[in-house]
């Protein structure tokens, strides 16, 4: 199991990816600890690799304590 507690709720990799993406996703890898702190609250950040579509692979980041999230998309 790689479920983690985020903002007090247990999430699966798929659910975490959907929180970061703000939309449904196709597939997600296991959740890992990101080697960084949240820029908003200093909390622990976790990351998950996921595919929002068949042609895209994104690494997303989410704070376990607050609403902060990010991804590695290039603008
Ligand atoms: Zn935070």
- Could you tell me the distance, in angstroms and rounded to a whole number, from the CA of residue 29 to the centre of ligand 1? 22
Contact 27, 51 (CB under 8 A): yes
What local confidence, expressed as pLDDT, does residue 74 receive?
75
- Range of the structural domain that residue 44 is part of: 4-71
- Could you tell me the distance, in angstroms and rounded to a whole number, from the CA of residue 28 to the centre of ligand 1? 22
75 pLDDT band, cuts 50/70/90, is low
- Could you tell me the distance, in angstroms and rounded to a whole number, from the CA of residue 69 to the centre of ligand 1? 8
- Could you tell me the distance, in angstroms and rounded to a whole number, from the CA of residue 72 to the centre of ligand 1? 17
pLDDT single digits (tens) 21-72: 999 999 999 999 999 999 999 999 999 999 999 999 999 999 999 999 999 9
N- to C-terminal Cα distance for the chain? 33
- What CA–CA distances, in Å, run from 66 to 1, 6, 43, 75? 23, 8, 8, 24
Domain count, the chain: 1
2 pLDDT band, cuts 50/70/90, is confident
């Amino acid at each position: 199991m790689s479920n983690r507690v985020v903002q007090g709720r247990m999430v699966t990799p798929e659910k975490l990816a959907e929180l970061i993406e703000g939309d449904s996703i196709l597939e997600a890898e296991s959740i890992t600890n990101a080697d960084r702190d949240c820029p908003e609250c200093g909390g622990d950040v976790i990351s998950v690799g996921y595919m929002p579509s068949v042609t895209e692979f994104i690494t997303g980041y989410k704070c376990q304590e607050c609403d902060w999230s990010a991804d590695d998309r290039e603008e």
